[in-house]
């Protein structure tokens, strides 16, 4: 098995694992972090598929901006759930 | 779980059964690269051969931002929450670098992977970072300058499309001026996309404080 193929298999497994975990985790914050991890791994996968354009967009928009928005939404939800001091 | 596995198997089977495409698009793109005005095939497809798609995409992005703006409630500028001094110093250091990277991505788009969307995303990331460091206030009511910046990309695109329409077909640039026109459109797009994407964040954060 060449190192490239081994890396690709590892990457595919990590992608599926992080996607499953992000969907099944009960804790919202953890799910968002897993989603960001998934986005970064996906960017790596696009780079491996020699599509650097999509890799750049995925890393910046898919992982970075969407992650920041989702984290912000989780913060809003937590602030709402806590009773006002 | 079993249903998901079944669906995955069925999808995999369907993909393997796909017939050979009748038209080979990569060869067509490669054949017409000379008229596109740029040297990178992805940019040529996005801004020249399939300019429609990009134009409508930018319009959709702008509409989404209008929706977010309509939903945000506060009327006054919300001052930024103070952040750690180290974070602020780092953000001040990184922001100019990110603007530089965005400019580079915009320029290199004609020759190599890059372009307006990537440059805009980097600009937006810089905006979000400055906001998180407490250096940028949230947008309650975007002023005239900000509004102009938000629609500039779409406006430039539409104006160029209309001028091209006057000479024949919508979004078919004359091949001598195509490179300049694409760079012009991309500059406007990068600015607008950067503002819109960071605006999605800057607008939605104000309700918390």
SS (H, E, C) chain B: CHHHHHHHHHHHHHHHCCCCCCCCHHHHHHHHHHHHCCCCHHHHHHHHHCHHHHHHHHHHHHHHHHHHHHHCCCCCCCCCCCCCHHHHHHHHHHHHHHHHHHHHHHHHCCCCCCCHHHHHHHHHHHHHHHHHCCCCCCCCCCCHHHHHHHHHHHHHHHHHHHHHHHCCCCCCCCCCCHHHHHHHHHHHHHHHHHHHHHHHHHHHCCCCC
CB–CB contact B121 A68 (8 Å): no
Task: Kindly determine whether residue B121 and residue A64, on different chains, have CB atoms separated by under 8 Å.
Answer: yes
CB–CB contact B114 A53 (8 Å): yes
- A13 in reach of chain B (CB within 8 A): no
**Residue B105 to residue A69, Cβ atoms within 8 A:** no
Task: Tell me how close the Cα of A4 comes to any Cα of chain B, in angstroms.
Answer: 22
Q: Which two tokens stand for residue B61?
A: 């992005």
Contact residues on chain A for B4, CB-CB shorter than 8 A: none
**Is the per-residue pLDDT at B48 higher than 70?**
yes
| pLDDT for B208 beyond 60 | no
Burial of A14 (0-12, 13-18, 19+ CB in 10 A): middle
Domain count, chain A: 1
| Structural domain that includes position A29 | 3-81
Lowest model confidence (mean pLDDT) among A57-61, B7-11, B161-165: B161-165
* Mean pLDDT of all residues in B164-171: 72
Q: What is the DSSP letter of A49?
A: T
Q: Which are the contacts of B29, defined by CB distance < 8 A and separation ≥ 6?
A: B41, B44, B45, B49
Going from N- to C-terminal start, the domains of chain B cover 2-204
Closest CA to A62 of A79, A44, A75, A78: A44
Residue with the bigger pLDDT between B195 and B37: it is B195
- Chain B residues inside the 8 Å CB shell of A69: 200-201, 204
Q: How confident is the model at residue B81 (pLDDT cuts 50, 70, 90)?
A: low
Ranking A65-69, A77-81, B35-39, B54-58 by mean pLDDT, the lowest is B35-39
Nearest residue in chain B measured CA to CA from A70: B201
State the pLDDT confidence band at B181, using cuts at 50, 70 and 90.
confident
Nearest to B41 by CA among B113, B137, B90: B113
Q: In this predicted model, which residue has the larger pLDDT, A42 or B48?
A: A42
Whether A85 shows a pLDDT value over 60: the answer reads no
Q: B11 falls in which pLDDT band (50, 70, 90)?
A: very high
Residue B207 C-alpha, separation from nearest chain A C-alpha, in angstroms? 9
State both tokens at A33: 């972090």
Residue B50 has pLDDT above 60, yes or no: yes
Counting one residue from chain A and one from chain B, the pairs whose CB atoms sit within 8 A come to 45
Q: What percent of chain A has pLDDT over 90?
A: 46
Residues in A closer than 8 angstroms to B128, CB to CB, are 64-65, 68
pLDDT band, residue B99 (cuts 50/70/90): very high
């Amino acid at each position: 098995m060449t190192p490239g193929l081994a890396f690709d298999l590892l990457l595919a497994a990590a992608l599926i694992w992080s996607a499953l975990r992000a969907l099944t985790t009960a804790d919202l914050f953890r799910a968002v972090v897993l989603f960001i991890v998934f986005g970064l791994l996906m960017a790596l996968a696009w780079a491996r598929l020699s599509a650097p354009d999509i890799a750049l967009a995925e890393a910046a928009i898919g992982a970075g901006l969407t992650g920041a928005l989702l984290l912000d939404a989780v913060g809003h939800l937590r602030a709402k759930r806590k009773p006002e001091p | 779980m079993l249903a998901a596995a079944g669906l995955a198997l069925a999808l995999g089977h369907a993909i393997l059964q796909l017939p050979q495409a009748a038209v080979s698009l990569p060869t067509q793109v490669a054949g017409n690269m000379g008229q596109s005005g740029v040297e990178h095939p992805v940019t040529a497809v996005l801004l020249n051969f399939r300019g429609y798609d990009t134009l409508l995409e930018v319009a959709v992005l702008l509409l989404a931002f209008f929706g977010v703006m309509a939903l945000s409630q506060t009327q006054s500028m919300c001052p930024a929450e103070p952040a750690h001094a180290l974070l602020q110093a780092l953000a001040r250091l990184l922001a100019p670098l990110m603007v530089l990277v965005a400019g580079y991505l915009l320029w290199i788009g004609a020759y190599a992977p890059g372009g307006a969307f990537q440059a805009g995303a980097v600009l937006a990331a810089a905006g979000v970072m400055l906001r998180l460091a407490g250096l940028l206030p949230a947008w309650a009511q975007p002023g005239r300058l900000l509004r102009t910046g938000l629609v500039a990309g779409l406006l430039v695109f539409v104006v160029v499309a209309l001028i091209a329409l006057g000479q024949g077909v919508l979004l078919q640039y004359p091949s001598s001026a195509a490179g300049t026109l694409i760079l012009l459109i991309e500059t406007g797009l990068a600015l607008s996309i950067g503002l819109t994407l960071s605006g999605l964040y800057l607008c939605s954060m104000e309700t918390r404080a």
